[in-house]
Amino acid sequence: MNILLLGSGGREHALAWKIAASPLTDRLFCAPGNAGIAQEAECVALDLADHGAVIAFCRANQVDFVVVGPEGPLVAGIVDDLEAAGIKAFGPTRAAARLEGSKGFTKDLCRANGIPTAAYERFTAPDAAKAYVRARGAPIVVKADGLAAGKGVVVATTVAEAEAAIDMIASQAELGTQLVVEEFLAGEEASFFVLSDGEHALPLASAQDHKRVLDGDRGPNTGGMGAYSPRPRDDAADERARPQRDRPSHHRGHEEARRALPRRALCRADDHRPGAQADRIQCALRRSRNPGADAAPDVGPGAGAGGGARRHAQELRPALVCGRRAHRRDGRQGLSRRLSQRHADRRLAEAATLEGVEIFHAGTAADGDRVVATGGRVLNVSALGASVGAAQARAYTAIDRIRWPEGFCRRDIGWQAVAREKASTGG
C-alpha cells in the first residue's frame, strides 16, 4: 500500500515508525512531518486545512490509505472529505471527532448515557462560570471547551486561581468562548486504548500520563510530560470500565452515543479529557507486536468483525516510560509555546543506540545535517524494560546522553509505579 500520514508531532513520528515497519507498506508519505519522521517517510508540504490539496496529492501519488493524526483536521471533517473522494482513511468522522473537539459535548454524552464522569457545568459567560466556582469551592477544574493543544485545562487549588483561569481562557480567542467547570477528582490518571470499527472494540494497552510540569505532579498542567505502560492493575476499576471499553458503540443502546462514537479509530477511554495523546500512544505502539499498517485496514469501511486487527494486535509484557524533552518552562503556561530555533543536539543518534530506546521527534526540523527545535515540546525518549523502573532508568540514561542546555524534562516519569515496585520487592 501507498500510505499518507497527516501530522507533524510525536504521535505521528511513532505512527510513522510503526507503519514503516509493516510489510504491507510500499511507500509512506507524511505531511508535513518533522526531522524524525523524515527518517521513516517522504515528507511533503501540504496544508492540512486544504482538504482539496490533500485529496489531489492522494490521487496524484496513488495513495491507498490515509492515517490522520491531529485532532484539528479530524474535527474539520477531513475523513468525511477523503471518503467522499473514494479514499480510505483511518480516523473518526467530523461528527465522531466532536468527542475530541468539545469537552462539553463529551461530558454531555457521558451524562446522558450513564457513563461515569465528574460533576460539571458548561458556560459561555465568564461571570456565570465564576459564580458556579464560588458556589462549589476549590479545588476545582476549569477547561476550555475546544481543542487547546493540551494547554486548556487548569486544576485550580483556590477560588481565586479558578477565576483567573476563567479570565485567561475567555481572553484567548483561539481557545473559544465556551468553558467547562468540573469537580476535582483525586487519584492516579489512567487511560485505556482500543481500536474500533464502530461495532467492535479491540483492546490495545493501558497507560498513565503525567501532565504536571514538575516532579511529584506539581506545577501547571501541560500537554503531557511523559507516560508509562501498562498502568497498575485495578480489577475493580477494570470491571466498572468494561461495558464502555469493550462495547462502546452499544452502551445502553443509545442512538446518540452510536452516532457520536468513532466508526473506526484509535479510541481512548480515560477521564474524558480531549487533548494531547502522543506520550500514551507511543507507549501503546512500543509495546505492541502489531506491524503497524496491518491492523488498520481491518477497522476501515466494511471491516466487519475486525478479525485481522484481532490477529495482529498482541501486547508485549515489558513496561515502557516516555520522557519528554522540552524548552524551559514558563510560569503561566507550564511550557514555553515557541522559542526561536535552537540547535537541539549533536548526540541524538548515540542516545538512540541504547538497548530498548527509541527517540520520537515532535517540534523539530532539519537544518542541513543538524536538528533544530521549533516548538515547546520537542523530543520524546522512550524505553522498554522488564519493569517500569528498568524502563525509566534506560529512558533517563538516554536523555542524559543528549547535549541540550536549553532542554527541560521531568525526572520522575513513572514515579508512583516505581515506588510500588520497590515496595513489593523490599527494594
282 & 219 share domain: yes
Residue 100, domain member (yes or no): no
Number of domains in the chain: 4
Same domain, 333 and 295: no
- Mean pLDDT, the chain, whole residue set: 80
Task: Check whether 318 has a pLDDT greater than 60.
Answer: no
Q: What angle do CA 326, 328, 332 make, to 5 degrees?
A: 110
Q: What pLDDT score was predicted for residue 336?
A: 43
Residues 204 and 275 in one domain: yes
Give how far Cα 250 sits from Cα of 118, 253, 254, 327, Å: 22, 5, 7, 44
Q: 94: exposed, middle or buried (C-beta count within 10 Å: 0-12, 13-18, 19+)? A: middle
Inter-residue contact 290 to 312 (CB < 8 Å):
yes
Q: In terms of domains, do 153 and 222 share one?
A: no
Does 297 lie in the same domain as 197? yes
CATH of the domain at 395: 3.90.600.10
Between the alpha carbon of residue 366 and those of residues 106, 173, 325, the distances in Å are 38, 32, 17
Sign of CA dihedral 405, 410, 413, 415: positive
Residue 283 has pLDDT above 60, yes or no: yes
Contact (Cβ atoms closer than 8 angstroms) between residue 208 and residue 417: yes
**Sequence-separated (6 or more) residues with CB below 8 Å from residue 306:** 195, 197, 199, 200, 202, 298, 299
Give dist(CA 180, CA 28) in Å, integer. 39
Res 315: pLDDT = 44
- DSSP states along 371-409: EEE-SSEEEEEEEEESSHHHHHHHHHHHHHHS--TTEE-
Question: From CA 382, how far away is CA 20, in angstroms rounded?
Answer: 18
Q: Considering only CA atoms, which of 28, 31, 33 is closest in space to residue 9?
A: 33
State which H helix or E strand residue 280 sits in: helix 278-286
Residue 205 burial (CB count, 10 A): 23
| Residue 410 included in any domain | yes
Is there a single domain that holds both residue 177 and residue 263? no
Domain of 60, CATH number, reads: 3.40.50.20
Distance in angstroms (rounded) separating the CA atoms of residues 302 and 406: 49
Q: Which three cell numbers stand for residue 103?
A: 469537552
Residues 286 and 354 occupy one common structural domain = no
pLDDT given at position 269 = 54
**What is the separation of C-alpha 412 from the centre of its chain, rounded to a whole number of angstroms?**
20
Instruction: Tell the residue number behind the cell numbers 473559544, with chain if given.
Output: 176
Q: Which of 253, 284, 312 is the last residue of a domain?
A: 312
Task: Beginning with the edge strand found earlier in the chain, give each strand of the sheet holding 364-367 in spatial order.
Answer: 342-345, 370-373, 364-367
Final residue in a domain of this structure, among 183, 209, 234:
183
State the pLDDT confidence band at 337, using cuts at 50, 70 and 90. very low
- Which contiguous run of DSSP H or E holds residue 265? strand 265-269
**Phi, psi at 41, each rounded to 5°:** -145, 165
340 and 306 within one domain: no
Nearest to 134 by CA among 94, 172, 161: 161
Q: State how far Cα 385 lies from the chain centre.
A: 22
Same domain? 420 vs 377 = yes
**Segment 90-99 mean pLDDT:** 90
- Predicted TM-score of the model (pTM): 0.85
331 with 350, same domain: the answer is yes
pLDDT band at residue 402 under the 50/70/90 scheme: confident
Looking at the fold, whether 224 and 293 belong to one and the same domain comes out as yes
Peptide bond into 220 cis (omega under 30): no
Expressed as residue numbers, the domain containing 32 is: 2-91
Is the pLDDT score of 346 beyond 70? no
pLDDT digits (tens, 9 = 90+) for 206-225: 889 888 888 999 988 777 88
Neighbours of 255 (CB within 10 A): 7
Same domain, 282 and 340: no
Residue 407 or 79, more confident: 79
- 132 within some domain: yes
